[in-house]
Every structure is written in C-alpha cells, then in structure tokens.
Amino acid sequence: MGLMLQFTIGPIDWRLLEYPFNTILLAIYVLVLGILYAVRKHVYVIEWTMTIYAAVPALAYGVLVTLLLGLTGWDMMLRSWPFILVYFWLMNILGLITIRRILHFSQGSIVSNLCFICNHLGLFMAMVCAALGNADMQKCRLTAKVGQPECRAIDLTGTQMPPKIVELPLSIELHDFIIDEYPPKYVVIDNETDMTINDSPWVIRQDSIWEYAAIVYGRKDSLGNQDMDRYVEWHSMGACTAAFITAIRYASAKEAADAKSEPLDTKQGWVSCGSFMFPNRALRLDSLYSVVMPEREPKRYASSVTVYMGNNQKTDGIIEVNKPLEIDGWKIYQVSYDTALGRWSDTSVFELVSDPWLPWVYLGIYMMLAGAVLTFITAGNKKK
C-alpha cells in the first residue's frame, strides 16, 4: 500500500503541516484514537490491533523498512510512504494500548503499569511531536563578520535549490572569534610517500617554540651556501607556529622507544605548520625520513557575540561547540569559521534552530528514560 501511494502521490512534504495545522491534526488524531478505543469491542480489527499479535509484525516491519534505509543510506526514504506508514501504524498501536493501560491503571502492580506507560507513552509523545513539530522547525545558517551585525541567513529547512535567504527577527554581531589549539605534534614521514611512520628510529625533542612567528629567509653567502631560514617571534595577523627541534636517531625503532642506548646521529632545525601567509616547513632527517608539524588541532573554538532583538534588547554571550546560546526560542550553535584563515578567521558561522515542539519531545524522552530505569529495576522480578 505504501508503495502504491508513493507512485501515485509522490514523496511527502512535511512543510504542509505548519502551525496551526499540526496542532489541529494532533487534536483530531488523539480524538480519533479515543473514539477507536471506545468502539473497540465492536470492531474486531481494533481489538486485534491492541494485542501483542499486532505489535510484533508491526515492529518487525519497522525494522525491515529502517534496515533498508540503513543499507542504502537513501535519505528520500524519510519522506516515502512505506516508511511513514509503518511508523504511523506503530504510533496507532502505541496510542491505543497506552489509553487502555491508563484507564485500567488500578489493575496490576503500580510499578509495572508506570513502567509500561513511561515506555509506551514516552515513545508515542516523542514520535508524534517530532513528526508534527518537524513542520514548525526553523533552521538557518548565518555567517557573521567581526564588527558587522548580520540578520540575513540561509534557510536550511526548505528543499528548494538554491536555498532561500531569510531575514531573521534578531541580528548577531561578532566581536571576536577565538581558537584554542592543542600543542603542536611532530610527525616523522616517509620522504617519498608522505605517509606517517610510527616506528622510525628517530626521536623528536622540542627545544624552543614560537606560538606566533614569522619566517626570516636566509641569504646565500659569498661561497654560494644557503644560509638557514629561521623564525622570529611575531604577533600580527598571519603568524604561524614554529618550533626549533632536535631529532635523535637510534639504531632501531625499539631502542628509540626506550631512548636509553647511545644515539647514533642528531639533526637540528626549524619546523612549522604554516599559516595562510607562510608555507609549512619540514625538516629533512635523512634520505628516508623527514619530520613535519601537522596543522594544529583545534581544542575549542568560540565566538564572542552580541545578539540584538527587535525590541531594542540585546544580550552578550559566548557561543561555542556543545554550548549553544538560547535566546527568544532560538538556539544559536557554533558551526564553523573561515578555515582558510584558521586561527586568524574574522568570520564565524552559526546555525540557528527554533523548534517550538521541543519541550514535548523532551517530555517524551524523559518518560522513556524513566521507563528504561524502571525496566532495569523490574527486569529480574518478572520471571525468575
């Protein structure tokens, strides 16, 4: 049946359910479930739907359809009729049996009833509210440059191409974009393949480091020898990290790991990960190996911002990964920055999400969590 609908009507556009249609639909849906429950004694199908004999094939079919999505990775599945119908059918079952259990709460043990209701009603609420709330969810991407308040953003919810530009009810001014980086690493690579060598006989020691440095190119002296390039401390835009290192060679990789025996050879020089202004620099160790400083990994990146709302209100805040800023029903997430400039980026990319149905989905999730804990507690007592 799902396939038939798929071929006749085509994929489903969730956007059709925007407020207030989804709220009305929810009211009607709950009402219909109530009526179906009331007339269950007269209609065999409803009676059967509420038995475990209906639940098992429905769940199994759910696994099958989701498995198809998992194996193909085909996103269109999410808007296809077979997929939606399975989940709709599961919701119906969940809704009906929850009504029955609530109305017959006095029968059976309180804990097992509570456990049942938390598990089933929680899932019902999370699924229904997630599906209906999907239409009201707004998601857009905003790119802010230092010192320039920005209220235009790219709409990420629609499916149209190219994506629509929307004007938001708030604007974001970026004051500063900060990257904290992990300490640099030194990696020995193969000269020919550029592959990382984990078991080389070389040990790298860092002698000195400039977090912010500029390169000073060496000159050829009168004999035609190239004077060595070196790095100096320098704090302006475009500065890179550079380190002066000593590489020590041992007889084998194993001895290098212990670093106890006599070294055979040492080599000194500068290495740098470079920046958008300066090239990176490797130190050649011998005919086989070189040592490089890979680009430093960001530990934390954060934007210091002021958010202006329509009614002359403003809020200052720091937005970083895993720590979104919540304002006026919007959650603002740190997403990206100008990666070409790296630590010198003067732009920051945010994603703004507004999801009015979220509290209801969360209520469902919390009920399921409580249900899971109750399941754990009661698991052994049922059949021993």
Question: What is the residue type of 299?
Answer: K
Question: Which lies closer to other proteins via its Cβ, residue 177 or residue 231?
Answer: 177
Q: How far is the CB of 69 from other proteins (least distance, A)?
A: 6
Report the residue number, 230 or 300, with the smaller CB distance to other proteins: 300
- Residues of this chain that interact with other proteins (CB under 8 A) are 52-53, 55-56, 59-60, 62-63, 66-67, 69-75, 78, 130, 139, 182, 198, 297-301, 320-324, 331, 333, 351, 353, 358, 361-362, 365, 368-369, 371-373, 375-376, 379-380, 382-384
Q: Which residue lies nearer to other proteins by CB, 274 or 298? A: 298
Structure-block tokens of residue 42: 């007269």
What torsion, rounded to 10 degrees, do the Cα atoms 93, 99, 105, 110 define?
Answer: 50
If the CB atoms of residues 35 and 56 are measured against other proteins, the closer one turns out to be: 56
Beta bridge partners of 165: 154
CB of residue 335 vs other proteins: minimum separation in angstroms? 8
> Taking Cα atoms as reference points, which of 241, 145, 113 lies closest to residue 185?
241
Q: What is the DSSP letter of 101?
A: H
CB of 31 to other proteins, least distance (A): 27
Closer Cβ to other proteins, 198 or 311, answer by number = 198
DSSP 7-55: HHH-S--GGGGTTTHHHHHHHHHHHHHHHHHHTTTT-HHHHHHTSHHHH
Q: How far is the CB of 297 from other proteins (least distance, A)?
A: 5
Give the C-alpha separation, 307 to 172, whole Å. 5
Give the nearest distance from C-beta 183 to other proteins in angstroms.
9
Q: How far is the CB of 64 from other proteins (least distance, A)?
A: 9
Are residues 6 and 80 in contact, defined by beta-carbon separation less than 8 angstroms? yes
Q: 118 vs 215, which CB is nearer to other proteins?
A: 118
Contact between 228 and 269 under an 8 Å Cβ cutoff? The reply is yes
